[in-house]
Every structure is written in C-alpha cells, then in structure tokens.
Structure 1
Amino acid sequence: MTSTPLPVGASLRGWLDHLQRSGRLTLTNPDVDLRFGVAGVANRLDGISASVFPAPGGHPVPIVSGLLSQRSWMAEAAGVEQSELITRFEDACLNPVPSEETSHAPCQQLVHHDVDLEKQLPIPTHNEHDHGAYITAGLLIARRPDTGVQNVSIHRLQVSGPNRLGALLLPRHTLAFFAEREREGADLDIAIVVGVDPLTLMASQAIVPIDHDELEISGALRGAPLTVTKCVTNSVRVPAEAEFVLEGRLLSNVREPEGPFGEFPQYYGERAERHVIEIDALTQRESPLYHTIVGGGLEHLLLGGIPREASFLSHLKRSFPCVRDVHLSRGGTCRYHLYVQLETPKPGEAKNVILGAFATHYDIKHVTVVDIDVDVHDPTEVEWAVATRFQADRDLVVVAGSQGSKLDPSTADGFGTKMGLDATVPTDAPEMRFTRIRVPGQQEIHLDKVAAPAPGDWHERATSHGQPATAALTLTSTEGFT
C-alpha cells in the first residue's frame, strides 16, 4: 500500500523549491539592509515572487518573505484548485487531525538559554514609523495548563530588549487564556514559532471555537498528523520542523509601551501600554531560515483573509442554508468588508444574514449580500449589484455602538458602527425587471475557430467580398488567442 503524497505546502523548504522551479523565487544580493531594505524589496516583488535574502544586514541567517502572496498560491500549497480552496479549508476546520509527538525535532538541534534576539535573529524594521524591529511571522502558541488545550495565532511582536517582546493581544483566544492565568497572578507559558510550512501558517488564522488547536487544522490540510514536539522549558507543543522556537511567558500584571507599527489597514497601530513576553530559551535548526511578513503587504492581508472566509462560510451556512459563498475583499483589507452570495433567500432573510455575518467576528464592518448570479470574488460585480438592486431607505442596515477592530483608525479604540447592504433582488419584483441581459451561446463560442489577431492587410481582408470571413482569418500555427 502506498501512502498519499503530502501537499507541496506541507514543507517550508519544499514550498520554496516549488516556487523556484516555477520561476517565483527571487534571490537578492547579500547584505540587504534590515532597516527598510528587506521590506522594500519584498514589497516590490509582492504578489510576483517570494524573496530570499542572504546575509541580510550582514547577519548569517537568511530571510524569506512573500511565501503566500497570491490566492492561487495558497490553493497550490494545499494541493487543490483555487475554486476549491475555501471548501478545503472549511473541511479542515470541521475535521481536525490530532498531532503526532516526537522527541527528536529539527527545531531543537541547537538550544540557547542565553537569549539575545537581535544577535541571534535577523529581525527587520519594515515601515517608516515602526518603533523598531518586529517579529511579524511568529506563530504564538499558548497552552492552558489545566486542560492542555492550545491556541495558535499571529501577533505583532516588538523587540523591547535582548529577551523581551511587546505584544498586541486583541480580544481573542490568546488573551482569554492569559486573562485566566493573570487572575491567578500567574504567567502564561507560550512559544513563538518562526519559519513554518505554508499549511501551518494558513491554519494559524482559522476562526474556530476556543477549544480547537489550530495545529490540528494544519494536520487536516496536509492529510496527515502534524509532527510536534514539547518545548525545552515548558509544556507547549510546537511544530517539530520549525526553523526557530522562542520559549517564554506572557508576564502577569506587566504592561510596557509598544508601537507604532504598520498594520494591515495600511495605517499605523498606535503606541500604548501593552502585554509583555519574556523569552527563556531559543531553539533552532542548525542552518535555519527566518520568515518575515511585511506589514500591510499581500501576504499579511491574504493570510488573514482566506482562512477567515472558510470559517465565516461554515458559520453562516449552519444558520442560513441559502448562503453559497463569501469573500473578504482586498479593498476592505481582507478583514472589514465581507461579500456574501445567497441563493433564493426568503423575504427578510438577507438582512438576517447581514446580522449573522456581524456576529462571526468583530472585525467585520461592512457586509454586502448579493444573489447567486453575482460573483462575490469580483468587486465590479458586487458594485454593480449595489448600483442596480440596492435602495438605502429599504435595504440599508446600520448597527451603531458596536465592537469593531481596534486597528481601524475611524473607530474609537474599536467602538464604532457597522453597515449592511442588501443588494439582492426584492422577492416581490416583477420577473423581467431584474433579469440580466445575456447573449445566447456567447460562452460556447470557440474564439480560435472564428477569429484571430488582425494581420497587416486587415482592411483589405475585411472588405473582401470574394471569401468568407472565417477563411480570411484562418489561424496559423503561430497565431491565436490564449
């Protein structure tokens, strides 16, 4: 019996090799500056190519960036067609695969108990007004000591000292775990994992109940258990194949200044008193790679957007069978604007879907619901539906005084207003009023059989009455539409 091969995204180094073979990996000159240089090059290549930076700023550890900066790349990593990506992720969230533990992990080939973050890691400074160097692609793994339940998430982590990090913890599961420990006057053991495979990166962003370990979603995406290992100084389990692991504690009753930092809304998260992590040990591979995500870049946006779409779709379909598809638009920072496609909603149901969408996650600010004939992945289609099917006095939903994103600068520390647009066809509308125009047979036309790029004598051929147009435009082996 032969085992099913793992998706190409199940290995960081395997994924980089795959990108190289397909012409999507760029190797820079050595010694690109850690301050703005790495981010500048990565942004210029954003969505085109992943980047490898040898000896960045003279540091011996190379940096990689831009691993997942296209929606299609995420589908490739998971081994599915782009149209199947959300369904695949949704299935992984619903059917997690428990991890498999090992005591022989590449991520612990070298162990450092004397930690100096900026000497041991090539940590870049990305945007102009960032306070300094930030770890941006670190998976923060927290473990409840009483139940062993883990949570995986990504937070911006400011280097505040040789073994000290400032952390922005938004009101989600990591903060809930920490609040339990802080009420007892105790620290929360954590690990920060840098340099993991694309599937684990994607899994870390799943929106699932608090008792779900996102590492098990990674196992489901790969079709096999993710191999994990116990940390050296605490009981947190981390991916065994990771490049670096920072083992430490979220400190109880300690807050220190953190920020500003360039965030996904394309603005800076402000400076404020925030949580603090103390690092007790650093473990690594013998020849590691350091992954960084440039704040506000495509990798940043899509990593948060695609997994959330799958989670939101699953959540909404449980309550509303008419829901068919969802999309978090790039113009809405892949967080704030949600488009929802419905099939034959009942009277008033579209507005219920809007309210249900607000409840999926506090980040959702504007929801637009459309009919099955509108492609929610095409912003022009959605705008067309709003332009021709929406009337504000009839179809607008406004929820004032609600919790939103603290990173949205238009809110008062996250307190703001949400808006829904019902851009579906009114259920009592006459049949022809909203019937879309259509040319019968248009999609079945084979362009390569009826047309070709115009030759130099196009005018003579176009006005010739002695031969059929199709014969005049016969394709050669080197001409044709692709």
Structure 2
Amino acid sequence: MARDLRGFLKLLEERGQLRRIKAPVDPDLEIAEIANRMLQAGGPALLFENVRGTSYPVAINTLGTVERVVWGLNRDCPEDLEALGKRLAMLQQPKPPKKIAQAIEFGKVLFDVVKAKPGRDFFPPCQQVVLKDPEVDLEQLPLIRPYPGDAGKIVTLGLVITKDVETGTPNVGVYRLQLQSRNTMTVHWLSVRGGARHLRKAAEAGKKLEVAIALGVDPLIIMAAATPIPVDLSEWLFAGLYGGGGVPLAQCKTVDLQVPADSEFVLEGTIAPGEVLPDGPFGDHMGYYGGVEDSPLIRFQCMTHRRDPIYLTTFSGRPPKEEAAIAIALNRIYTPILRQQVSEIVDFFLPMEALSYKLAIISIDKAYPGQAKRAAMAFWTALPQFTYTKFVIVVDKDINIRDPRQVVWAIASKVDPSRDAFVLPETPFDSLDFASQKIGLGGRMAIDATTKIPPETNHAWGEPLISDPDTAATVDRRWEEYGFADLDLGAVDANAFGYDIK
C-alpha cells in the first residue's frame, strides 16, 4: 500500500469499504448529514466526486470504523495494536535487558527507530502546483459546515505544523480551523497544546510564528499527531514507528517548515502574536455547540497541492464518529504503556458511549487495601490525554471491563458510596465540558468497585457463586446431545438483556 491518502483509499475500495458518489452534493450541511447516517450504520468511507462550488472531490468517513483505523495503522486486527504498544512502551522507559531474549527484542525496537527516521523528498508531489499571493483563495477548497448552528466552514483533519522559535523542535497537531476570509483562518487549540506553546514563545521573542497546514495525508500521520503520549520522539518519527518506515518530508516554499511530501494540499502562513478573531461556535465531540473564543489568526501567503488533489475531512459530534473509532483503536496501543506507568493495572477500557475519554474502566490485580484509589490517582496522571477523564471505575481483574453487565454488577455488589467513591474538586478541566460548574475547572470521581479486604471492611466477604466444575464439564460434553448445536453462547446477545447495542 502506498503511504499516502490515495493508497489508503485504494485499499478501502479493494476491500469494499469505499463508496463513490457521483451525484452533486453541497459541502454546506449536506455532506455531513450523509456521512453521519453512514457512520451511525457502520457503513463505508465516502468519496464525493461532484461537490458544488469546487473542482475537488471530498473524502470522509475514511476512519469511521475500528477495522478501518487498524488498516490505517498498517495492521490487520486490533490485537496487533497492543504489540505495537509494547514496543512503544519499551522506548518510553527502557530498562536494561536481563535476558538474551530481552536484549534481542530491545535491539529490534532500536532498529525500528532507525528505520522510522523521516526522509527528504526534493521533488514532492504536494508541490506539483504552487499558488502564491494573490492567487491564494481558500474559498476554492471544499470546506464543509457540518451543523446548522456552526459559525462557518472548517478544516478538521489538517496537520497543523509549527516549531519552537528557540530550539527549532517541530510540533504536529490536529486542530480545528475556521475559514475567515480568502486567505485567513483562525486556529482553535488548547493552551496546553504544542502549537499554543510555540506561539507564546514566538510572542516573547517578538516574532511571528510560521505555520504549515498539511491536508489529505497518510492516516498513519494523522493518528501519530493525535496521540499525545509522553515519548521523546517527534511526530514524524512516531508515524514512522507506526508504519515501519520513515515519512518522506518536503521543505515548504515560503516558511521554514517541513510537511509530508505526499500531502494533497499544503497551506503556508504566519501568526502575528496578539492578532485574533472570534472563532465558533461549532458542534463538538461532547454533542453540543461550543462557545465563541478569540483565536489566533493565520494569514496564508502560499498554497501548494498535487495534481487532481483530494480533500479529506471529518467532523465532531456525539459518537459514533471517526474520532471515537480512532480512540477505541488507540486504546489498544495505550494499554501496554499504561501498564508500564501503573504496574497494577491489568487492562483498561474507554467506552465510546462516554466519548472515548470521559469515563475509564480499569481492572487491577488487587493485593493490598487502598490499591484501587492509588490506581485511579495514578491513571489520571499517567498520560496527558487522561487529564480530562472525569470518571474512573476500578474493578477486579476477573471482571470483563468491556461487558457492561459485569461492570454494573461490580458497582452494585461491591460499592458502598460513603467509602468507595471519592471526588477531587475543582481540577483543571476540559473547557468544552458544560457539566462543570466553572468552565475549565471541574471535579473528578473515582469508584472503587473491587472486592474489599481488611481494613477496608471489618467483616468477611461473601463467597462468590461458581458452577460445579464436574457438572460444567458434563454439560460441555453433552451440549450437542441436548440439541443446542446451533447455539453459540460464547457471544451473548446483550440486546436480550435490555442493552441497545448497535
């Protein structure tokens, strides 16, 4: 598979996961409405070939299922992602190998790092067409407006590339941008993000911040940029580790930044510190419209693109959405890294229904009293993305954390709210969470749903109910004899118990 957007779309089409739409469609509301219905049904990616107001086709829903996210990460199944996570965890906090086999494995990982080093493309496809002021016209791009209350057209899957004005260290992030005029956009990023830090340092130095926006890139790079794990690697190197080979980069035409050479479009511009415009409101991942915020204004002086470029987009909202599918897949990568940070954690799960980050369920191998509370506190500080996790439920290792019936049973049967629930009030929080009493400041709750041991309790715990092993073996052996050969009880239908699972 070619390491670019076109190669991925070709792969999806070959596997029956891409639908081409030749009928004319409007980027204002209509594309998002069609894509949202397809997302709800778990349907294929879409390529709109006849978009009103532009000559460029629009791809959307490319990463709308976990299966497609796994393919985008150059893997075959979700289980493969945990193996990738183990290798990344080894790089994060490498320990001296104690055995020959461990030394060999660590050597393989270091070799992967060497292979992942980005390369340089001196004749990049992304610069087959070069437009400079006054030819730059962002209004020719098929930017979508997903919801009727949105303030304008947006860019959602663009890589926003900046660098530290002192050290030259680049940052690659995925931030929302709002079209403001034919050559300007505002960028919406949180103050803790790399781009915002770079802008503050540029302001302190009295300089403009150079910015490049890469549109339509290899899904590997998008997911590397969206994975804020504490590994001392550039996003380019991280993407190379995801894909097993270095990302080819190209030098921009008017700013001192590098972009993926196979990008479909590249926008080059600068931010003058202090120059802002109102940004928003827009529909966000919480399922509501966000507020209006003064955001940095980017002035673009150059746009380059491939011949016959394809515009890639997505949109936020209440799950299921592409961002939720990405989060579920990345959950597998985080697991080994999290285990390394918090050794007692056996497994963890971020349900899509809880926006893939607002509620975490973690299982532990409990060995001492108070361990569940320790695990919850450690979870909140283990990785940057868990800073905004509002609820943590801790269960024993024998609970299947992906089965809501088992989790609810653990809460109902093992929790005394006066003892097992604790709240951290007024912690720095997600400004998009309207449930917080104060915007940007909210509480967190942890629930200890593990079996209690002294001195957590002063009485003996009940004996768990289990089947008689001999009888269970007999029933297994005689299952077909009972006439149940056509029944597979390994995968229980949760809908039969009142769960509306789609």
2:87 to 72, 91, 107: 91
1:372 aligned to which of 397, 400, 414:
397
User: In structure 2, what residue type is equivalent to 1:54?
Assistant: E
Task: State the Cα distance separating 1:135 from its structure 2 match.
Answer: 0.5
With over 3 angstroms needed to count, the CA separation of the structure-2 counterparts of 1:110 and 1:438, relative to structure 1, is farther
* 1:61 paired to 2:83: no
Report SS of the residue matched to 1:200. Answer: helix
Structure 2 CA distance for aligned equivalents of residues 433 and 209 of structure 1? 42
Q: Is the contact made by 1:195 and 1:291 (CA closer than 8 Å) also made in structure 2?
A: yes
Which consecutive unaligned segments of at least 5 residues does structure 1 have? Answer: 1-7, 452-467, 476-482
Q: Residues 424-474 of structure 1, C-alpha deviation per residue, up to 9 Å, x if partnerless?
A: 2223488972635457599999999955xxxxxxxxxxxxxxxx765xx88
Counterpart-to-counterpart distance in 2, 1:164 and 1:33:
22
Q: How much has 1:242 moved relative to structure 2?
A: 1.1
Root-mean-square deviation (Å): 2.8
Supply the AA of the counterpart residue of 2:448: D
Partner amino acid, structure 2, of 1:139: L
Is 1:112 the equivalent of 2:138?
no
- Cα distance in 1 for partners of 2:366, 2:231 equals 33
Partner SS state of residue 126, structure 2: helix
Unmatched runs of 5 consecutive residues or more in structure 2:
92-108, 487-502
Give the aligned partner of residue 302 of structure 1: 325
User: Cα deviations across residues 388-432 of structure 1 (Å, max 9, x unaligned)?
Assistant: 222211111210010110111122221111111111222348897
- 1:323 equivalent to 2:345? Answer yes
The percentage of aligned residue pairs carrying the same residue is: 27
Return the match for 1:142 from 162, 165, 176.
162
Matches within 5 A, 1:114-133: 114-119=135-140, 121-133=141-153
Are residues 1:190 and 2:211 paired? yes
Is the 2:452–2:461 contact (alpha carbons within 8 Å) kept by the matching residues of 1? no
C-alpha spacing 1:31/1:322, structure 2 compared with 1 (3 Å): same
Partners of 1:100 and 1:295 lie apart in 2 by 33
Which amino acid letter does the alignment assign opposite residue 144 of structure 1? D
Sort the Cα spacing of 1:322 and 1:209 in 2 relative to 1 into closer, same or farther, 3 A.
closer
Instruction: Name the structure 2 match of 1:290.
Output: 311
**Counterparts of residues 200-211 of structure 1 (less than 5 Å):** 200-209=221-230
Q: Is the 8 Å Cα contact of residues 130 and 260 (structure 1) preserved in structure 2?
A: yes
Distance in 2, Cα, partners of 1:92 & 1:294: 29
1:409 is the counterpart of 2:434: yes
AA partner of residue 138 (structure 1)? G
Kept in 2: contact 1:304–1:334 (CA 8 A): yes
Q: Which residue of 2 aligns with 1:353?
A: 375
Q: Aligned partner of 2:413: which letter?
A: T
Quick one: structure 1 residues 343 and 231, their matched pair in 2 at CA, closer, same or farther if it must change by over 3 Å?
same
The offset of 1:131, in angstroms, is 0.4
Secondary structure of the equivalent of 1:57? coil
Q: Does 1:267 align with 2:276?
A: no
Contact 2:158 2:213 (8 Å CA) reproduced: yes
The aligned length equals 449
From 453, 464, 469, the equivalent of 1:435 is: 464
Q: CA 1:187 to 1:91, structure 2 compared with 1: closer, same or farther past 3 Å?
A: farther
Whole-Å Cα distance in 1 between the matches of residues 367 and 10 of structure 2?
46
SS in 2 for 1:189: strand
Q: Residue type matched to 2:440 in 1?
A: G
| Mapped partners of 1:112, 1:79: distance in 2 | 37
Q: Is the 8 A contact 1:149 1:212 kept in 2?
A: no
Please give the TM-score of this superposition, normalised by the length of structure 2: 0.82
**Selected match of 1:49 from 19, 34, 44:** 44
Contact 1:68–1:302 under 8 Å retained in 2: yes
CA contact (8 A) 2:214 2:267 kept: yes
Partner of 2:247: 226
Given that 2:237 and 2:246 are in contact with CA atoms closer than 8 Å, whether structure 1 keeps it comes out as: yes
